Amino acid sequence: MQQKALTDYIFTSESVSEGHPDKICDRISDTILDLYLEADPYSRVACETFVTTDCVVIGGETRGPESVTKDKIEEAARQAIKKVGYEQEGFNWKTADIDVKLHKQSVDIAQGVDEGTGVDKDEGAGDQGIMFGYACKETEALMPAPLYYSHLILRKLAEARHAGKIKGIEPDSKSQVTMEYKNDKPVGVRSVVVSTQHAEELSHDDVKNIVIPIIKESLPDGWMPPEEELYINPTGRFVIGGPVGDAGLTGRKIIVDTYGGAAPHGGGAFSGKDPTKVDRSAAYIARYLAKNIVAAGYADGCTIQLAYAIGVSKPISVYLNTHGTGTAPEGKIVEALQQLVDLRPRGIREHLQLNKPIYEPSSAYGHFGRTPTAEGHFSWEKTDLVDDLQRIIG
């Protein structure tokens, strides 16, 4: 006999701030990607960054204009660190040792991607892999609630720090929100964990008095957990942080970047990769499609999987699951999506206009659930397919 799905449960997601060591690496990698795309929108970049005490190492492969020199890359990395706010002993944007080890893209990879070369003469995928997109009705952003509020807490904490509204809070921080679900819907917050780096002179109570009002401001009315379920700097002290306290690496926070564990992740990281890399672009289009399906009213929750082979243009498979909430046949929805959007790498890139220097803002607080801008940031968050989906599906 088939077991009935669990509808009442507790679920937790976490976020990390822009000053977390891994997120500094994501920011540097995306800043360098933007630097190349600004010089040439068809640059190829797969950039990885490593940070530790007083040290930044940038490696990977690129194909772009010679005007993007090592000196410009180093300066871009310094500005990325400055923007986060690191000007402290052990990690300072002015004095950190920055070692650039980028090299030219492999010709074997290039021939599979370049149109007119390789076995498939169309523009092929830059790698094989599986990518997932997800959307649900738990928040206005159509994102899972635990992750959405985890991000929001840290964004508000960072905004207050940058604006000078709070003193003594440093860039490195983490959050975690545990939510209670009834009938598959979030009904309240059970607990919140926030650990934030702080100046030596701040006491544990000082940090709590700064952080707790920001948590209250971030959560919906009536969802604030009891005081005993607010865990602020649970060790009691967090003075040594950032790359001084721990090393960082690009792409180590992929669940934070996507859906907080509420949906699958294909495994590939995003930051530092140009849109020929389907790890990034196909994950973006999958989110775009899932969000439009939910926004159009065809599901309360939707998961999409795309699969690609390196050097091959068409997706190997397209999978859709509305988790029992669908209001139209899933096969019919898939047919409509494929009529409206070209899922080959070039089609994705052109539909979402991804060959722009738009990536640095996505490096912290999630790639999804953000607000699209006129400049093209977060174009995958638009819901401009809704009318066409309703016209085709009915």
Please answer whether residues 278 and 54 qualify as being in contact, where contact means their C-beta atoms are separated by less than 8 angstroms. no
Tell how strand 97-104 and strand 55-63 pair up. parallel
Instruction: Give the pair of three-digit tokens for residue 53.
Output: 């005490």
CB-count exposure of residue 299 (10 Å: 0-12, 13-18, 19+)? buried
Backbone Cα Rg of the chain: 22
Please answer whether residues 112 and 311 qualify as being in contact, where contact means their C-beta atoms are separated by less than 8 angstroms. yes
Q: Alpha-carbon distance 126 to 296, whole Å?
A: 31
Provide the annotated active-site residues. Answer: 20, 22-23, 48, 61, 174, 238, 246-247, 252-253, 273, 277, 279
The full length of the chain comes to 394
Picking from 53, 367, 19, the residue whose alpha carbon sits closest to that of residue 175 is: 19
Instruction: Give the pair of three-digit tokens for residue 315.
Output: 């997706």
User: Rounded to the nearest 5°, which phi and psi values hold at 384?
Assistant: -85, 5
Q: Alpha-carbon distance 241 to 170, whole Å?
A: 8
